[in-house]
Chain A
Amino acid sequence: MHLGNYLGLVHESEQELAEALRKVGAHHADEPDIFQICQLLASWSDQHVQQLKPFIKKYSEDRSSEPDKLSRTLFDEPRKGSLALMRDLHDLWLLSNEVELCWIVIYQAAMALHDKELEATCNELSGQTKRQTAWLLTRIKQSAPQSLIVAA
């Protein structure tokens, strides 16, 4: 059974998302909103990591190397220039989508296993992940015209 694999994947992806949100928040603290909202969204991912623990134990985590591959390209160095925020938000959006997809996959498995608790957890946590993605998309849409067209 590979459910443990996927739980490991979402676990790492959530950790990575939290860390990336904090980095981006700190890099762009001069924006009126980025620092606060990134802190808030990161705290949600932290909470998800905690809530995942009993299931990881139950399905004996088998760690996947997948998210590491993603992380190498993202957020190593603070990006500079007017496009930096846009690019960082873009990459955060990719990460949160990674998490969102993991929840869908795990939810399917939970239903097949009749693991009601895991189903409920998937539902609750994926709802918050969607809110993370939705904020990123809103902010990306707001930034895009100014960064791509007007800024030097």
Chain B
Amino acid sequence: MEETRDSIADIWGERTPQYENWPVRVDQRLTEEPDHWVQSACVLCSNGCGMDIGVKDNRIVGVRGRAVDRVNHGRLGPKGLHGWVANHSPDRLTKPLIRRNGKLEEATWDEAMNLIVQRSKELIEKYTSGAIGFYTSGQLMLEEYYTLGVLGKAGLGTPHMDGNTRLCTATAAAALKASFGTDGQPGSYTDIDTTDAILLVGHNMASQQTVLWMRVLDRLEGPNPPKLVVIDPRKTATAKKATVHLAPRVGTNIPVMNGLLNLIIQAGQIDESFIKAHTVNFDELKKTVAKYTPEYVQQLSDVPADQLRAAADILGSTPTLLSTALQGVYQSMQATAAAVQINNLHLIRGLIGRKGCGIYQMNGQPTAQNNRECGADGDLPGFRNWANYEHVKELGRLWNIDPDKIPHWSPPTHAMQIFRYCEQGSIKMLWIQATNPAVSMPDLARIRRILAKDDLFVVVQDAFPTETTELADVVLPTAIWGEKTGCFTNVDRTVHISHKAIDPPGESRSDFDIFLDYSRRMDFRDKDGNPLIGWKTPEECFEAWKECSRGRPCDYTGMSYAKLSEGSGIMWPCNEQYPDGAEHIYTDGVFNTSADYCETYGQDLSTGAAKPQDEYKAEDPSGRAVIHAVDYEPPHEIPDDDYPLWLTTGRVVYHFHTRTKTGRSKELNDAAPEGFVQLSAEDAGKYGITEGDWVEVVSRRGRVIEPARIGEIEPGLVFIPFHYGYWDKDDRKRAVNELTLSEWDPVSKQPHFKYAAVSIRKTDPHSIREKVLSTKDELVEVVKGVVETVKSKL
């Protein structure tokens, strides 16, 4: 076996110090010598590393990083090097399943698709297409999202379509729209190579995007290393490398960010001419942040005043700055408001649109960006504005349909609201693709109850049996990465093509083919009676998508499958003006905020109230960025006598999401086989807990039992990774989302996973007491289910 490095033991590998030019290092792991290599990119985090798939006898036998790729220069992380083995997992789904007499039984594609189509038609006839909802993914390909977006919006005309991207990147999109007028990341990964300072907010890059972190580590070892400011309540691997590490109490990102902005404004370290020429609403920000003195911030967040000053000194004086944010911002209190303050920092210092000055409002998933671009998350394709009727008409012309077919009469329905409509019974068919809400949504007992409802027809499209397929009425087996061709786009707007390397197992089909089949069987047609969806292959779909993207910020018109297959990925916008893609956007300080171009007319960041079109037009920012100022609001659930500790959730380096792929790699699974609860030595002492003890963690919504891991976290806070569910181990409740809150950020509608109040105590999962308690939990769930059924029948 040819393995260039042991990525399990040494996650980031050997250093190749750099400034301006990141050296190539090709990481490879093979189990056999391949016959040939197929160009692809990695889908096991949001980084988007270029990768070749090694194939022998129609099987994947390994992977290697693509040396020419602009994202990774040949490197791969542990998940990328190991996760591919899941393609050949013996428990792949290979035949459609239909629930008959309470049991999932094998069926033909015709039977399964006919059932879905028959149910769809009945529901539309009786209740309109508002009775049908879609919950999709951040794992499909661009062509699949676009096909889904068109069939949902122009075929069915349902507003109920969202993705699990709602749980991971919705705030990134919301923050970019709020500040710059549309979604679209201003930065490039090459900013790391030259920047003088990096600010990471709630983003454990070392663990989440290991290859991006290699790029940072190589800067830290090279000449002119950047200064690092890390904001994270845990002493993560990222935080350990920080020049200044701020560890705020959970839910206090706004006080910390406002405090930093205030110090920078007070010190006069702002770019007044940039502010004047390219922004609106700075005075409001200045007024709002004025009261966030270091002492007041310390009172709210526990961040020592002198540390805040030290961080502000770096951020206020650095000539170039790269900032990143992830779930510590997006899944926390005041998510969009806090993410926007990072944009504000760059705006008031004029550090945007040039080398070394990037903002990565990071994504959590490899293809989340495409979900957002193509309109599979409720937004309109091409970052169009659903409240702008001219944009709706554009799509009507493009698709040759009556624009009023496109749901634009009310805001798109977001994930948790879709589940709420299912709970209330107004959505009667929920079609889930490539995601596992029975582990990843908040308040799992409730989600299980909803998915199990008799009057909800649940279709699940997946490659593996999951906790969610268990609750389905129809299961469709899918082809995954490596088994189909398609494109996807990462955080720095780099588009990669991933070619089909091997055939999918058994009868499984790509999501793309399933959507086309559904459209054909539903007989969706345009105004002239032609099939609504004219494309038959991913490449034809890509060509159609290019037309949809024309003239919009995410312009793909200069790309083609041939060009994408030439070597490295290509950044959008790629068009006549930028035939090879644009490294930075907003280089001239002109943003996408003009009333006829913007993706949103804006929302109140505290309530989510939509600003009407006429109000926006009356003060049209016309290309200037919008600065938003927000005051601190405390979280809605805070520790008390009964639940005295904060809970927060997150990832471990070896796993992705609910481990459907990474849990099937022996090496990755052995490296992180089990969940845990991380707590401080102080709290461990207080509760008499030692390393490895079983700990019961209880919130108002549920309880889990996890082994203890002690240290590297602030007292008063406990952390549980979110990867672990029940498909491979069902001896106890261990999914952290048994505990989390059913509530969201008012703007991005992203759930608040990053805080809940909990109690803990040492326990023994095999004691009689635990057996009785878990039986009681199960009984309570059953009774609640029965009550819901009775209620819905009354």
- Contact bitstring B403-422, A, C-beta under 8 A = 1, else 0: 00000011101101100110
Bound: A39/B421 CA distance, A:
22
A41 touching B607 by the CB < 8 A rule? Answer: yes
* Contact between A138 and B411, CB atoms less than 8 A apart: yes
Cβ of A76 within 8 Å of any chain B Cβ, yes or no, is no
Q: Which of A30, A39, A150 contacts B636 (CB 8 A)?
A: A39
Whether B410 pairs with A141 at a CB distance below 8 angstroms is yes
Which residue of B has the minimal Cβ distance to A152?
Answer: B425
Please tell me if the beta carbons of A146 and B426 are within 8 angstroms of each other in the complex.
yes
Whether a CB of chain B sits under 8 angstroms from the CB of A94 is no
Closest chain B CB from A139 CB (angstroms): 8
Let me know if A151 and B636 touch, CB within 8 A. no
Residues on the B chain within 8 Å of A149, using CB: 127-128, 130
Give A39 to B414 CA distance when docked, in angstroms. 21
Q: Which A residues from 75 to 119 make CB contacts under 8 A with B?
A: 82
Enumerate A115-152 residues with CB–CB distance to B below 8 Å: 131-132, 134-135, 137-138, 141-142, 144-147, 149-152
A39 to B, closest residue via Cβ:
B636
Tell whether, in the assembled complex, residue B420 and residue A131 are in contact, meaning their CB atoms are under 8 Å apart.
no
Q: Judge whether B540 is part of the interface by a CB distance below 8 angstroms.
A: no
- Contacting residues, chain B, for A32 (C-beta < 8 A): 414, 416-417, 420, 742-744, 749, 751
Whether the Cβ atoms of A144 and B426 lie closer than 8 Å is no
- Nearest to A151 among chain B residues (CB) is B426
Q: Are A40 and B633 in contact (CB under 8 A)?
A: yes
Q: Are B746 and A37 closer than 8 Å at their CB atoms?
A: yes
A side interface size, CB within 8 A: 27
Given contacts A141-B410, A142-B411, A150-B127, contact A134 B420 (CB under 8 A): no
A65 contacts B by Cβ under 8 Å:
no
Q: How far is the CA of A145 from the CA of B157 in the complex (A)?
A: 13
- Least CB distance, B405 to chain A, in whole angstroms: 14
In whole angstroms, what is the CA distance A134 to B611 when docked?
8
Taking a contact as CB atoms under 8 Å apart, the answer to whether A40 and B607 are in contact is yes
Which B residues lie within 8 Å of A60 (CB)? none
Complex Cα–Cα for A41 and B427 (A): 29
Instruction: Select which of B409, B423, B746 is within 8 A of A30 by beta carbon.
Output: B423
- Complex Cα–Cα for A25 and B138 (A): 32
**Do residues B609 and A40 form an inter-chain contact, with CB atoms below 8 A?**
no
Q: Which residues of A contact B491 (CB under 8 A)?
A: none
Shortest C-beta distance, A43 to chain B (Å), equals 9
- Any B CB within 8 A of the CB of A35: yes
| A125 vs B744: C-alpha distance when bound (angstroms) | 26
- Kindly provide the distance from the CB of B275 to the nearest chain A CB, expressed in whole angstroms: 24
B410 interface neighbour in A39, A40, A134, A142, Cβ under 8 Å: A142
Q: How far is the CA of A138 from the CA of B749 in the complex (A)?
A: 14
Measured CA separation A135–B606 after assembly (Å): 10
CB-CB under 8 A from A134, the residues of chain B are: 604, 607, 609-611
Q: How far is the CA of A144 from the CA of B411 in the complex (A)?
A: 11
Q: Is the CB of A131 within 8 A of B411?
A: no
A62 at the B interface (CB under 8 A): no
Does residue A36 face the partner (Cβ distance < 8 Å to B)?
yes
Contact of B609 with A135 in the complex, beta carbons under 8 Å: yes
Nearest chain B CB to A102's CB is how many angstroms away?
20
Contact of A35 among B410, B606, B611, B743 (CB under 8 A): B743
Residue B368 CB within 8 A of the other chain: no
- Contact indicator A150/B609 (Cβ below 8 Å): no
Contact B426 A152 (CB under 8 A): yes
For residue B159, CB closer than 8 A to chain A, the reply is yes
Q: Does B424 contact A (CB under 8 A)?
A: yes
Tell me if B606 and A131 are in contact (CB < 8 A): yes
Cβ of A33 within 8 Å of any chain B Cβ, yes or no, is yes
Whether A145 lies near B159 (C-beta < 8 A) is: yes
Chain B residues with CB below 8 A from A151, complex form = 424-426
Which residues of B are found within 8 Å of A142, using beta-carbon distances?
410-411, 413, 417
A141 to B411, CA, bound (A): 8
CB pair B608 A135 closer than 8 Å: yes
Nearest CB in chain B: distance from A79 CB, A: 14
Which residues of B (604-632) have their CB < 8 Å from a CB of A? 604, 606-611
A98 to B426, CA, bound (A): 33
Cβ-based interface call for B595 (8 A):
no
Chain A CB within 8 A of B131 CB = yes
Given A149-B128, A150-B130, verify A131-B609 contact (CB < 8 Å).
Answer: yes
Besides A30-B423, A138-B610, 19 other A-B contacts (C-beta < 8 A): A30-B420, A30-B742, A32-B751, A33-B746, A35-B636, A35-B743, A36-B636, A37-B607, A37-B608, A40-B607, A41-B607, A131-B607, A131-B609, A138-B608, A142-B413, A145-B410, A146-B421, A150-B128, A150-B130
Which residues in A have some Cβ–Cβ distance to B below 8 Å? 30-33, 35-37, 39-41, 82, 131-132, 134-135, 137-138, 141-142, 144-147, 149-152
Q: Nearest 8 pairs between A and B by C-beta?
A: A134-B609, A150-B130, A135-B609, A32-B416, A135-B607, A151-B426, A138-B610, A150-B426
23 A/B residue pairs, CB under 8 Å, sorted by A: A30-B423, A31-B417, A32-B414, A32-B744, A33-B746, A35-B743, A36-B746, A40-B633, A131-B604, A131-B606, A131-B609, A132-B607, A134-B609, A135-B604, A135-B607, A135-B609, A138-B608, A141-B610, A145-B410, A146-B426, A150-B131, A151-B425, A151-B426
